[in-house]
Amino acid sequence: MSGDEKRVSLDPEVEKNLPVPLADAIRSGSVSEDILKHSHDADEAMKAFASHQGQVIEIDEATNKRLLRRIDWNLIPVMCIVYGLNYLDKTTISYASIMGIKKDIGLVGDDYQWLGSMFYFGYLAWEYPTNRLLQRLPIGKYSAGCIIAWGTVLCCFAAVKNFQGAVAIRFMLGVCEAAVTPGFALITSQWYTRKEQGTRTGIWFSFNGFAQIFGGLVAFAISTGTLKHPAAIESWKIVFLLTGLLTVSVGIIFWFTVPDNQLNARWLSADDRVLAIERIRINQQGVGNKHFKWYQFREALLDPMTWAFFLYALIADIPNGGISNFFSTLIVSFGYTPQQSLLYGTPGGVVEIVTLIAGGWLGDRYGNRILVSGFGLITAIIGMALIVGLPLGNNSGRLAGYYLTQASPMPFVAFLSLISSNFAGYTKKTTVAALYLIGYCVGNIIGPQAFRPGDAPRYVPAEITIIACWCVCLVLMAFIYTYSKRQNSKKAMLRAHSQYVRLENQEWLDLTDRENPEFVYTL
């Protein structure tokens, strides 16, 4: 800096809200030289603009719609199918439980409950490592490899002979599937604006419901078909082989379809790649940074929002772990046959599809994902109250209650999309995603244990536990909503300060949501 250049004097209140490198750069008046020369601190998106220095890139509405349509058609269908298989593959054991697997591999006592939980032990063990790998490795290729691996592991279930073998397979299945949900959340944040993320997350997550319908119909067809025409292998083995091979096939398609980010999307032209990045500038997040930053890791651990998200996932997934592994058994307890339970479970998938897609769209439409998703949780509480309160003879009423419980994923999906929208800084985002899904794992481990064999056929203690968990979740949702609004107010006051300076290309500096005064939390 030459002697006649003036240094900017920062107000202490402004300075304490800025990271040290940015504060120094503002004082010196040389933001681009001081920061951008350390390119490893910036986001990958900065590379796309290296040849556009000084140019203003504008996207008109027609171009934006064209790009969005192209992105949707190339990403959403394959993500939907994979996420549907993600749900189907880990719940196939629920169908197998009433198709003879318990007898064939000698399950006794609470062995089946432990098989339900074992998937999540594997998921839990690998969740943080897989999030680090999602940051370090090409996200598209790593995700595809995990999909192919979990399909292969699922096929191996057809060769299981005893409880010990089933435990090993379920554990490895959890390891392989651990990358899917955080990976998809990161991909969604890479490609879509904050106003688009809730809807897209709702769409691909809703394929849990499609999987429930598809899986129920396939299991019903195989079960009834093999009763009439016995096959060379048991019907439950056919289900595992079918779903496993289908997953491997889709994983191969995913490898060639889903890029690592906009910079290597073969279905976009060179100019469109830059435009695809420019259109998400508003997110203030970028598309990724491969360098682990300890300060962002620490910030994630000290952020109250991180632990509110973690607690929500843990408590909300105690009910999920129980219902997803015992829904067929639960329907049988309403007075239906095992074969009928396979068929009658499918409308629950329709409820999940409708509520997730509608909830995602309404949340984005009205800019309030938390409030909209809260109605889904209240609906689920009413459904479980019907199961508990109605007499045993009211089969149809209790079954209707089960269908209402399938609206419960709405807030979980809303918060998953809010991880994409409300946490910035790539290390911080991946850390929060890992903790959120660790909570998800712990909840799903606990959930099946609530369904004790001695409580059959009604499982009233488990059903009351589910209602209590969902009520606590409503309190956590209220905290996250009010805390986010308060943080937005503080940032608005900072931006209104007379000495506030907005940095050029601030969006691509891999700043955390707390560091970046321009960052606005989505409700």
Has residue 73 got a pLDDT over 90? yes
CA dist 240 and 145 (Å) reads 20
CA dist 491 and 500 (Å) reads 11
Give ∠ CA 247-249-253 in degrees, rounded to 5: 110
Question: What value does the mean pLDDT take over residues 106-125?
Answer: 84
* Domain assignment of residue 86, yes or no: yes
CA dist 26 and 14 (Å) reads 11
**What is the domain extent for residue 84?**
61-495
Question: What value does the mean pLDDT take over residues 128-147?
Answer: 91
Q: Are 325 and 94 in contact (CB under 8 A)?
A: yes
User: Which pLDDT belongs to residue 283?
Assistant: 65
User: Which pLDDT belongs to residue 4?
Assistant: 44
Has residue 512 got a pLDDT over 90? no
Has residue 3 got a pLDDT over 50? no
* Domain assignment of residue 460, yes or no: yes
Q: Quick one: residue 288, left, alpha or beta (phi over 0 = left, psi -120 to 50 = alpha)? A: left
User: Which pLDDT belongs to residue 87?
Assistant: 83
Residues 6+ positions from 325 with CB-CB distance below 8 Å:
91, 93, 94, 113, 116, 447, 448, 451
Helices (H), 258-368: 270-278, 294-302, 304-333, 338-344, 346-366
User: Which pLDDT belongs to residue 35?
Assistant: 40
User: Which pLDDT belongs to residue 10?
Assistant: 47
What amino acid occupies position 47? K
* pLDDT digits 0-9 by tens, 265-296: 899 988 888 888 888 777 666 555 677 888 88
Q: Are 141 and 255 in contact (CB under 8 A)?
A: yes
CA dist 485 and 480 (Å) reads 9
Q: Are 352 and 409 in contact (CB under 8 A)?
A: yes
Terminal-to-terminal C-alpha distance of the chain:
43
Q: Quick one: which of 258, 141, 147, 204 has its CA closest to 420? A: 204
Q: How confident is the model at residue 395 (pLDDT cuts 50, 70, 90)?
A: confident
Question: What value does the mean pLDDT take over residues 409-427?
Answer: 88
Q: How confident is the model at residue 82 (pLDDT cuts 50, 70, 90)?
A: very high
Question: What value does the mean pLDDT take over residues 259-270?
Answer: 88
Question: What value does the mean pLDDT take over residues 495-512?
Answer: 71
* Domain assignment of residue 132, yes or no: yes
Question: What value does the mean pLDDT take over residues 353-368?
Answer: 90
Q: Are 194 and 421 in contact (CB under 8 A)?
A: yes
Q: Quick one: residue 54, left, alpha or beta (phi over 0 = left, psi -120 to 50 = alpha)? A: left
CA dist 236 and 228 (Å) reads 15
Q: Which residue has the tokens 């601030």?
A: 506
Question: What value does the mean pLDDT take over residues 24-32?
Answer: 45
* pLDDT digits 0-9 by tens, 429-445: 889 988 998 998 889 88
User: Which pLDDT belongs to residue 230?
Assistant: 67
CB burial class (10 A; 0-12, 13-18, 19+) of residue 38? exposed
CATH of the domain at 138: 1.20.1250.20
Q: How confident is the model at residue 226 (pLDDT cuts 50, 70, 90)?
A: low
Q: Quick one: which of 177, 220, 185 has its CA closest to 202? A: 185
User: Which pLDDT belongs to residue 23?
Assistant: 54
User: Which pLDDT belongs to residue 59?
Assistant: 76
* Domain assignment of residue 382, yes or no: yes
**Overall residue count recorded for the chain in this entry:** 523
Q: Are 151 and 251 in contact (CB under 8 A)?
A: yes
Greater confidence, 11 or 229? Answer: 229
CA dist 500 and 394 (Å) reads 65
User: Which pLDDT belongs to residue 57?
Assistant: 65
* pLDDT digits 0-9 by tens, 155-179: 998 899 999 999 999 999 999 999 9
* Domain assignment of residue 306, yes or no: yes
Q: Are 480 and 308 in contact (CB under 8 A)?
A: yes
User: Which pLDDT belongs to residue 1?
Assistant: 41
* Domain assignment of residue 21, yes or no: no
Residues 6+ positions from 316 with CB-CB distance below 8 Å:
408, 411, 412, 443, 469, 470, 473
Residues 6+ positions from 343 with CB-CB distance below 8 Å:
216, 217, 220
The total of structural domains in the chain comes to 1
pTM of the full structure: 0.77
How many alpha carbons fall within 13 Å on the CB side of residue 159?
Answer: 8
* Domain assignment of residue 1, yes or no: no
* pLDDT digits 0-9 by tens, 443-501: 988 887 787 777 777 778 888 999 999 999 999 999 999 999 999 998 888 888 777 77
Has residue 149 got a pLDDT over 90? yes
